[in-house]
Structure 1
Amino acid sequence: MPLRSVPTPRSTMARLAIRAAAIVCLAMPLGACSLFGDDDVTYKTQPTDPADLLYNQGLVALKDRDFTKATKRFEQVDREYPQTEWSKKAILMTAYSNYEAAKYDDAITAAQRYVNLYPQSPDAAYAAYLYASSNYAQIPDITRDQQRTLKALDGFQEIVKRWPTSEYADDAKYKIQVTRDQLAGKEMEIGRFYLNQNNPSAAANRFKVVLQQFQQTRHVEEALSRLTECYMALGVPSEAQTAAAILGHNYPDSQWYKDAYTLVQSHGLEPREDEGSWISKAFKNVITM
């Protein structure tokens, strides 16, 4: 599934920063509003500095891609002007500047805080998107623990559920598919390990998860073929025949089907679906990819 043209955290936040800067400029003297020019900007401030000055300095630092300074300014706004509109903006910008700096855990913390404090804000969807994207950016390879993948999946699902018409919903739907495919791949990796250890029962349990929870992923074909192998090894030929039959029905040109068919035939059997099988029931409403 190709990635659609949707706003990314960077492109969307760039618009947000420009919009916020424009609002600030309206409230400040013209001479103080050189946010994106070449003026020499001093970042040293006193605790009594106005919130708008601190916030603007954070925006200038973002423009210069000095994310450490940007984060410090936004955090200072939040700390010195709590429960104000400036603090509200600063929390979101803290999440973004940390995201840009690849400080994903800090971005997650700020984004979560924003959503918790301002769930009805027009920017709550974006904060949630930053949270999910920060977890998504840390998804490990398939051999490692997939807690980050689960958190990213939960985050993107929350966006689709709570903000289905937002500009982030389409990208969230795409990344839900990516994360689900990753989780299915992890189950397959463990299942293959058990097969190599001559433990077809434990392997079958892993492949079963793929069929029951991750049907619309690229791993389904192999999972059905592996189940055929597992059930033949376990002496349950009817389930093996069912797995092979459903594989052949949904993916007739697949090499995995050819392998499953050859295995079943080698035992004097043919693929045949048992509609009472859990495999058959799992595929009643399947939509092949």
Structure 2
Amino acid sequence: MKKINIFLIILLSILAVSCGKKKRKNMTSEESFSYAFELYKKGKYEKAIQEFTIITLNFPGSNIADDSQFYLAECYFDTKQFLLAQSEYQRLVYDFPNSEFVDDAEYKTALSLYKMAPKNTSLDITDLERALAKFQEFFEAYPKSELVPEIESKIKECRLKLAKKTFNNAETYRKIGYYGSAITYYNFVLQKYYDTDYADDAQYRKGYTYLKAKKYSDSKRELEIFLQNYQKSVFIDEAKKKLKEAEKKLAKQVLEEETETAKK
């Protein structure tokens, strides 16, 4: 992670003042960057974007090219233009793989995608899924980064939102009587988001859905798994009632099948 020190900031400010007295075409790469950076610090993002863009085009091989690329992305991020921001962060990663800004750019790419995702999980969650993947990639690539605690928090948050989306899909199918599809989505919750707050609910609803589908043996099995694994769940009492119902109906079903077999 790269940081500009106090001395450099002061130096850039001095250069920026002198740059104001110079014609744009006569500026060196360092003077151009100091001018753009001063605009960025003052919150003049639109003008700063123009200047950083010019630097990346005119001085692609200079020692401030990656700095300019990073702060170009920062301008877009600070003005909430997250689609453009993540694109520019990724350009830095690809064009300057040895830059000290790479880890910051990787993190900000993930954060941009996260902020692009709609808060309402009933809408498209593609950006949220991409953000989760990027956060996980960062965690694996930079396990000792000072950003790890925040990354872990964001990963947990993304997983919880995705679990909610998947669980709600299951609930929708269950309520309209598409029990097979509902169980498929409950299984997704249990397999992919087993460590979220939706896991116990999914396991209980799975057993209940089998009961509604008149698959009493499956219902009994899943409700027993629930009672064994989620003893502190708020659904414990309800699950016990449903288990008794499943056992009773299963016994009746078995008896009826035996009776039918005896008649043949």
Is the counterpart of residue 33 in structure 1 residue 10 in structure 2? no
| 1:160 equivalent in structure 2 | 139
Is the counterpart of residue 92 in structure 1 residue 77 in structure 2? no
1:223 offset after TM fit, Å? 0.5
| Aligned equivalent of 2:172, options 181, 184, 193 | 193
State how far apart, in whole Å, the 1-side matches of 2:29 and 2:98 are.
23
1:150 offset after TM fit, Å? 0.8
1:187 offset after TM fit, Å? 0.7
1:53-98 superposed Cα distances (whole Å, 9 cap, x missing partner): 2211222222222222222221111111112221111111111121
State how far apart, in whole Å, the 1-side matches of 2:36 and 2:21 are.
9
- Highest CA radius of gyration, 1 or 2? 2
State how far apart, in whole Å, the 1-side matches of 2:164 and 2:22 are.
50
State how far apart, in whole Å, the 2-side matches of 1:269 and 1:162 are.
54
| Aligned equivalent of 2:43, options 65, 69, 88 | 65
| Aligned equivalent of 1:118, options 65, 78, 96 | 96
Is the counterpart of residue 173 in structure 1 residue 158 in structure 2? no
| 1:6 equivalent in structure 2 | none
| 2:195 equivalent in structure 1 | 216
1:181 offset after TM fit, Å? 1.1
| 2:8 equivalent in structure 1 | 23
Note the residue ranges of structure 2 that are not aligned, 5 or more in a row.
Answer: 250-264
| 1:142 equivalent in structure 2 | 121
| 1:130 equivalent in structure 2 | 108
State how far apart, in whole Å, the 2-side matches of 1:70 and 1:48 are.
18
Q: Which moved more, 1:236-245 or 1:183-192?
A: 236-245
User: Does the CA contact (< 8 Å) of 2:220 and 2:246 recur in 1?
Assistant: no
| Aligned equivalent of 2:209, options 230, 234, 241 | 230
State how far apart, in whole Å, the 1-side matches of 2:238 and 2:166 are.
20
1:215-266 superposed Cα distances (whole Å, 9 cap, x missing partner): 0111101101110122112333333223222322332232223222222222
Question: One-letter code of the match for 1:23?
Answer: L
Question: One-letter code of the match for 1:165?
Answer: K
State how far apart, in whole Å, the 1-side matches of 2:106 and 2:132 are.
12
Moved over 4 A (4+): 39-45
| Paired residue secondary structure (1:229) | helix
1:43 offset after TM fit, Å? 10
Q: Whose relative contact order is higher, 1 or 2, with alpha carbons under 8 Å and at least 6 apart? A: 1
User: Does the CA contact (< 8 Å) of 1:43 and 1:57 recur in 2?
Assistant: no
Which structure 2 residues correspond to residues 98-109 of structure 1 after superposition, within 5 A?
98-109=76-87
RMSD between superposed Cα atoms in Å:
2.6
State how far apart, in whole Å, the 2-side matches of 1:129 and 1:73 are.
24
User: Does the CA contact (< 8 Å) of 1:225 and 1:259 recur in 2?
Assistant: no
Structure that is richer in helix per residue? 2
- How many residues end up aligned between the 2 structures? 248
State how far apart, in whole Å, the 2-side matches of 1:134 and 1:44 are.
36
1:103-146 superposed Cα distances (whole Å, 9 cap, x missing partner): 10111111111111222333211110010000111221111010
User: Does the CA contact (< 8 Å) of 1:107 and 1:134 recur in 2?
Assistant: yes
State how far apart, in whole Å, the 1-side matches of 2:153 and 2:95 are.
28
